[in-house]
Structure 1
Amino acid sequence: MIKSLYIKDFALIDELEVGFDSGLNILTGQTGAGKSIIIGALNMILGERADTEVIRQGADKAIAEAAIQVGENESLKSLLEENAVEFREELILRREIRQSASRAFINDTPVTISVLKLVGDQLVDLHGQHDHQMLLRDENHLGVIDQYDAIKPLLKEYREAYEKMKSLRLELSALRKRERDLMEKTELYQFQVKELEEAELSVHEEEEIEAEMNLLDNAEDLDQKAASIAEIGAGEDISLMEMLNNIKLTLEDMARIEPEFETYLQEVNSARISIQEAVSFAERYRSRIEFNPQRLEKLRSRQSELNRLRKKYQRTIPELISYYNEIKKELNVAENFDLEIEKLETDISKQAEILRQRAIRVHNERERIGEVLSAEIVAALANLGIGHGQFRVDVEWKESDTGWIQIDGKQVECTVNGCDDVRFFISTNKGEDPKPLAKIASGGEVSRVMLSLKSILAREQHLPVMIFDEIDTGISGNISEKVGREMRKLSGHCQIVAITHQPQIASQAHRHYRVEKRETGDRTVTQITPLSPEEHIREVAALMSGESISDSALSSARELIERVGIQN
């Protein structure tokens, strides 16, 4: 339950802090006093959209914070742990709205607004005035049925089958598109494969051609230079090698006398060996030099062909080889499209049967829940003054020519939420056939249907808090008292915070609060005050007779409140 609510600099609220009790908490006050502002602040705490206009004039930010007792809640605990928020049995939800940004916190840990909303959805059902209109739209009726716990595991299994079916169908669609695209390119690919195969490309061929052409281009120069090296060892008068040998012998003689010459002897000997090796290599290399203009021309022609292919395909030779492998593979795939498509169609057919079976289980369970809900709403409406009411939940297959599955010879459309259309039908008068809920003219009847639904779903969902913003629209008198009794009864399952203008509903409060607007200096502020038992009586009397409270109004209010005690 909501233990406390703190609001600061929000619209007309300067600063407000209030504690709520378990049971039925009623808020009353004149129109414009600020009751809806409090609901707006609660909405903001629960993750609903809020803009900077809510910031009180002259303030930097608007703050709304609620302490909510949640007890043990494994689902909520898992959600918080997934988002790195510590779970406690009492959670502090806080929202700040600044001109520049909005911030949200759970237990002082920053969270996104979407996480705040997910947490709020597990804690509080806030029924605003617009929810009446939501109930009248057929597309929202499926969501009411799917709030029952019994449907959730079946829906989970169905969605798994649906997602797999969707994936297979997307794969088939992509394969068929690929087939069409390939058919358009087959002739081009076949030509390119032939051209590249005939080219016999090699990854390093360009470098090899360039290296060989360099040798052939410089063959004559290489031969001349190699010959000049070879001549070093074979001069006409005396060769360099003979000179080095003479120096070596002389240094040997000198080293025997003076050891310091030993170092130079080794260096000369090393130089002599190195020069001899260079001369020998030059002589051998000359025999390998190739003078081949024909080969050079052939290499130039090959180089020109590779350049042409590179320019044509806008790819390097290694990229051309990869491209060749890709398009050859594509052509191979094109030859096997029929087999691939046939295999996928077989898989889709098998998956369609799995999806069909799971869709039927969801459909049947929705029908069962619809029957249970109908009976419960009829009973609830009887308690709210609609004694001859009828309520029916129609669950019908969603037919479509493009449906994925067949049931009873019909093509049925599948969505992530199943294959059903759900619609609520109602009759509030004896002898009338049920009609779509949207056909109900009376706002009071819609209010009673909504309260009946909320009462039933509160027990099903085990939400700790329900908030009603003027659910009593369009009702009065004896019916209001019945609505109040139903709300008080519902508060035995969860805490209820409700705004009302009806004395009969206010009289049912376990705790009554007055919301009023006051002028302080040059500012107008909204305040909320918990009422004592005597103030509770006077506030109920004021709802009956207005600001001027008569003795008869006080007597009627006291009698109304005493009747609550007798009934409970």
Structure 2
Amino acid sequence: MIKSIYIKDFALIDELDVQFEQGLNIMTGQTGAGKSIIIGALNMILGERADTDVIRQGAEKAISEATIEVGKNAFLQKLLTDNAVDYSEELILRREIRQKGSRAFINDTPVNIAVLKQVGDQLVDLHGQHDHQLLLKEENHIDMIDRFDSVEPVKKTYRTEYRKMADLQKELRDLKRKERELKEKTELYQFQVKELEGADLDAYEEEELESEMNLLDNAEDLDQKAAAISEIGNGDDISLMEMLNTIKLHLEDMARIEPEFETYLSEVNTARISIQEAVNFAERYRNTIEFNPQRLETLRQRQSELNRLQKKYMRSIPELISYYNQVKRELNVAENFDLEIEKIEKRIREQAGHLKQSAEALHNKRLEIGEQLSTDIVATLSHLGIPNGQFRVHVAWQFADSGWIEIDGRPVECSAEGCDDVRFYISTNKGEEPKPLDKIASGGEVSRVMLSLKSILAQEHHLPVMIFDEIDTGISGNISEKVGREMRKLSEYCQIVAITHQPQIASQAHKHYRVEKIEQEERTITRITPLTEEEHVREVASLMSGEEITDAALSSAKELIERGGVRN
């Protein structure tokens, strides 16, 4: 249950701290007093979207905080532990809205808004005024059926099989798309493979070409220089080697007289050996030089061809080889598309059997819940002034021109939510057949259907708190009293916080709060005041008679309260 709410600098609220009690907590007040502002602050605590416009003028930030008693809750304990939040049986949820964004806290530990919303969804069901419209939209009916606990494991199994089928269908679509694309490119790919195959590419060929062409291109120059070296070393005239030999002889003689020449003698000997080796190599090299203009031209043509291919494909030789292998693989796949498609289609047929089985289980569970819900809502509506009401939950297969599974030989369209079309039908008058809810139900009837649904779901889910923002839309008088009694009965299962304008509903309160606007220091602020028993009577009387509370109104209010047996 919500033990307390603290709100600061939120819209018209400067600062507000209110304690709630177990049972039925009712808030009343004139239109515009700020009741919906309090609900808005609660919404903010529960992780709903918040706008910076809610920050009170002149304030730095808006704060909304709730202390909620949760008891032992294994799901919440795991969720909070996984998000590094200390778990306790009493949680403090806080939201701060600043101009530059919002922050959320649980037990003073920062959390992201998604976590705050997950926690809020486990603790509070907040029925806003727009929920009536949600009930009238048929696409929301399936969600209301699926809120029942027994549907969840069946739906989880279905979704597993649905995802498997969806993945296979995507794989098939991708393969067929690729087949179409490859068919369009097959002729081009075949030409490219033939062209690159004919080129007989080698990743190192360019480097080898450059080296060989360089030698052929400079053969004549190399021969001339090698001949010159040989002539200098071993010419008919006085050669370099003869001169070095003469120097060597002289140095030997001089070294015998002056030892310092030994060093130079050693260096000349080394030079003679090195130069002789160079001369000998030059002579041998001349025999290896190839004068082959035709070979050079052939190499130039090959180089030109490689340059052409690289420019055409905008790839280097290694990249061209990789591309060639890739295209060959693509062509190989293209030749085997029929086989691959057949394999996937076989898997799809097998998966369709699994999907159909899980879809039928979900369909049957929804039928079961629909029958149960119809019975329970009819029983509740009879307590709410619709004694001859009929309510039916229509669960039917979504037959279509094509679908992933077939039921009775007809294709059925499936989605992540199942393969069913779920719609609510109602009849509020004796002898009339039920028709779609949005076609015949009045605002008051929709309110009572919604209250019936909420009552049933509250008992199903054991939610600690339910909040109603004017559930009494479109009803009054005797019906309002019955709605109030149903809300009081519901408060035996969970705490109820409700806003109402109806005295018949307000009279049922375990605790009554008055919300009002007051002027303080030239500013308008919202206040909420818990009422004493006497103030409770006067507030109910005020709802009956207006600002001027008559003795008759007070007497009627007391009678209304006593008739409900509300005061404990």
State the TM-score bracket (shorter-chain normalisation): over 0.9
User: Could you say if the C-alpha distance between residues 424 and 567 of structure 1 is closer, same or farther in structure 2, counting changes exceeding 3 Å?
Assistant: farther
The 8 Å contact of residues 7 and 65 in structure 1, kept in 2 or not, is answered as: yes
The 8 Å contact of residues 510 and 567 in structure 2, kept in 1 or not, is answered as: no
SS in 1 for 2:180: helix
User: Could you say if the C-alpha distance between residues 277 and 514 of structure 1 is closer, same or farther in structure 2, counting changes exceeding 3 Å?
Assistant: farther
- Counterparts of 1:143-222 in structure 2, within 5 Å, are 143-222=143-222
Cα distance in 2, alignment partners of residues 531 and 263 from structure 1:
122
Please report the RMSD computed on the Cα atoms of aligned residues, expressed in angstroms.
2.5
Q: Which moved more, 1:95-104 or 1:532-541?
A: 95-104
Cα distance in 1, alignment partners of residues 358 and 71 from structure 2:
35
Q: Aligned partner of 1:105: which letter?
A: F
Cα offset, 1:86, TM superposition: 4.0
Cα distance in 2, alignment partners of residues 413 and 518 from structure 1:
58
SS in 2 for 1:328: helix
Q: Which moved more, 1:336-345 or 1:319-328?
A: 319-328
Query: Counterpart of 2:331?
Result: 331
Does residue 394 of the first structure (1) align with residue 394 of the second (2)? yes
The 8 Å contact of residues 3 and 19 in structure 1, kept in 2 or not, is answered as: yes
Query: Counterpart of 2:305?
Result: 305
The 8 Å contact of residues 127 and 468 in structure 1, kept in 2 or not, is answered as: yes
Does residue 279 of the first structure (1) align with residue 279 of the second (2)? yes
Cα offset, 1:566, TM superposition: 7.1
User: Could you say if the C-alpha distance between residues 483 and 216 of structure 1 is closer, same or farther in structure 2, counting changes exceeding 3 Å?
Assistant: same
Cα distance in 2, alignment partners of residues 351 and 203 from structure 1:
47
Cα offset, 1:93, TM superposition: 2.4
User: Could you say if the C-alpha distance between residues 144 and 256 of structure 1 is closer, same or farther in structure 2, counting changes exceeding 3 Å?
Assistant: farther
Query: Counterpart of 2:44?
Result: 44
Cα distance in 1, alignment partners of residues 469 and 517 from structure 2:
18
User: Could you say if the C-alpha distance between residues 50 and 566 of structure 1 is closer, same or farther in structure 2, counting changes exceeding 3 Å?
Assistant: closer
Cα distance in 1, alignment partners of residues 466 and 284 from structure 2:
102
The 8 Å contact of residues 146 and 152 in structure 1, kept in 2 or not, is answered as: yes
Cα offset, 1:241, TM superposition: 4.7
Cα offset, 1:10, TM superposition: 1.5
Cα distance in 1, alignment partners of residues 149 and 494 from structure 2:
18
Unmatched 5+ stretches in structure 2: none
Query: Counterpart of 1:9?
Result: 9
User: Could you say if the C-alpha distance between residues 53 and 235 of structure 1 is closer, same or farther in structure 2, counting changes exceeding 3 Å?
Assistant: same
Query: Counterpart of 1:367?
Result: 367
Task: Give the TM-score taking structure 1 as reference length.
Answer: 0.93
Query: Counterpart of 1:459?
Result: 459
The 8 Å contact of residues 28 and 35 in structure 2, kept in 1 or not, is answered as: yes
* Superimposed CA distance per residue, residues 321-374 of structure 1 (whole angstroms, 9 cap, x where no aligned partner): 222212221221111111111111111111111111110000000000111111
Does residue 408 of the first structure (1) align with residue 390 of the second (2)? no
Cα distance in 2, alignment partners of residues 102 and 349 from structure 1:
50
* Superimposed CA distance per residue, residues 517-568 of structure 1 (whole angstroms, 9 cap, x where no aligned partner): 0001210100111122222222222222222223333333333333444798
Does residue 527 of the first structure (1) align with residue 527 of the second (2)? yes
Q: Aligned partner of 1:302: which letter?
A: R
Cα offset, 1:165, TM superposition: 0.9
The 8 Å contact of residues 158 and 358 in structure 2, kept in 1 or not, is answered as: yes
Cα distance in 1, alignment partners of residues 402 and 300 from structure 2:
63
Cα distance in 2, alignment partners of residues 125 and 252 from structure 1:
116
Query: Counterpart of 1:434?
Result: 434
Query: Counterpart of 1:62?
Result: 62
SS in 1 for 2:512: strand
SS in 1 for 2:529: strand
Cα offset, 1:282, TM superposition: 2.7
Q: Aligned partner of 1:98: which letter?
A: R
Query: Counterpart of 1:115?
Result: 115
The 8 Å contact of residues 513 and 528 in structure 1, kept in 2 or not, is answered as: yes
Q: Which moved more, 1:170-179 or 1:92-101?
A: 92-101
Cα distance in 2, alignment partners of residues 388 and 551 from structure 1:
38
* Superimposed CA distance per residue, residues 43-97 of structure 1 (whole angstroms, 9 cap, x where no aligned partner): 1222222323222222233222222222332323333344444433333322233
Cα distance in 1, alignment partners of residues 232 and 329 from structure 2:
61
Q: Which moved more, 1:332-341 or 1:486-495?
A: 486-495
Query: Counterpart of 1:547?
Result: 547
SS in 1 for 2:406: strand
Cα offset, 1:261, TM superposition: 7.0
The 8 Å contact of residues 468 and 498 in structure 2, kept in 1 or not, is answered as: yes
Q: Aligned partner of 1:75: which letter?
A: F
User: Could you say if the C-alpha distance between residues 559 and 257 of structure 1 is closer, same or farther in structure 2, counting changes exceeding 3 Å?
Assistant: farther
Cα distance in 1, alignment partners of residues 496 and 258 from structure 2:
117
Cα distance in 1, alignment partners of residues 324 and 387 from structure 2:
81
Q: Aligned partner of 2:106: which letter?
A: I
SS in 1 for 2:6: strand
Query: Counterpart of 1:21?
Result: 21
Cα distance in 2, alignment partners of residues 406 and 63 from structure 1:
54
Task: Give the TM-score taking structure 2 as reference length.
Answer: 0.93
Q: Which moved more, 1:61-70 or 1:516-525?
A: 61-70
Cα distance in 2, alignment partners of residues 245 and 180 from structure 1:
84
SS in 2 for 1:431: coil
Cα offset, 1:273, TM superposition: 4.3
Q: Aligned partner of 1:51: which letter?
A: D
Does residue 106 of the first structure (1) align with residue 106 of the second (2)? yes
User: Could you say if the C-alpha distance between residues 386 and 221 of structure 1 is closer, same or farther in structure 2, counting changes exceeding 3 Å?
Assistant: same
Cα distance in 1, alignment partners of residues 179 and 242 from structure 2:
81
Cα offset, 1:118, TM superposition: 2.8
Cα distance in 1, alignment partners of residues 550 and 480 from structure 2:
22
The 8 Å contact of residues 507 and 566 in structure 2, kept in 1 or not, is answered as: no
SS in 2 for 1:25: strand
User: Could you say if the C-alpha distance between residues 257 and 511 of structure 1 is closer, same or farther in structure 2, counting changes exceeding 3 Å?
Assistant: farther
Cα offset, 1:263, TM superposition: 6.4
Q: Aligned partner of 1:463: which letter?
A: L
The 8 Å contact of residues 440 and 446 in structure 1, kept in 2 or not, is answered as: no
Cα offset, 1:377, TM superposition: 0.9
Query: Counterpart of 2:446?
Result: 446
Q: Aligned partner of 1:306: which letter?
A: L
Cα offset, 1:247, TM superposition: 6.2
Cα distance in 2, alignment partners of residues 246 and 557 from structure 1:
144
Q: Which moved more, 1:383-392 or 1:262-271?
A: 262-271
User: Could you say if the C-alpha distance between residues 231 and 88 of structure 1 is closer, same or farther in structure 2, counting changes exceeding 3 Å?
Assistant: farther
User: Could you say if the C-alpha distance between residues 485 and 233 of structure 1 is closer, same or farther in structure 2, counting changes exceeding 3 Å?
Assistant: same
The 8 Å contact of residues 508 and 566 in structure 2, kept in 1 or not, is answered as: no
Cα offset, 1:314, TM superposition: 2.5
Cα offset, 1:415, TM superposition: 0.3
Cα offset, 1:255, TM superposition: 7.8
Identity of aligned residues (%): 75
User: Could you say if the C-alpha distance between residues 230 and 377 of structure 1 is closer, same or farther in structure 2, counting changes exceeding 3 Å?
Assistant: same
User: Could you say if the C-alpha distance between residues 244 and 383 of structure 1 is closer, same or farther in structure 2, counting changes exceeding 3 Å?
Assistant: farther
Q: Which moved more, 1:242-251 or 1:382-391?
A: 242-251
Cα distance in 1, alignment partners of residues 492 and 241 from structure 2:
118
Cα distance in 1, alignment partners of residues 83 and 257 from structure 2:
92
Q: Aligned partner of 1:202: which letter?
A: D
Cα offset, 1:277, TM superposition: 3.6
The 8 Å contact of residues 149 and 461 in structure 1, kept in 2 or not, is answered as: yes
Cα offset, 1:437, TM superposition: 1.1
Cα distance in 1, alignment partners of residues 372 and 81 from structure 2:
36
* Superimposed CA distance per residue, residues 100-159 of structure 1 (whole angstroms, 9 cap, x where no aligned partner): 323333333444433332332222111011111111111110000000111111111111
User: Could you say if the C-alpha distance between residues 528 and 289 of structure 1 is closer, same or farther in structure 2, counting changes exceeding 3 Å?
Assistant: same
Unmatched 5+ stretches in structure 1: none
Query: Counterpart of 2:350?
Result: 350
User: Could you say if the C-alpha distance between residues 356 and 281 of structure 1 is closer, same or farther in structure 2, counting changes exceeding 3 Å?
Assistant: same
Number of equivalences = 568
User: Could you say if the C-alpha distance between residues 561 and 247 of structure 1 is closer, same or farther in structure 2, counting changes exceeding 3 Å?
Assistant: farther
Q: Aligned partner of 1:149: which letter?
A: D
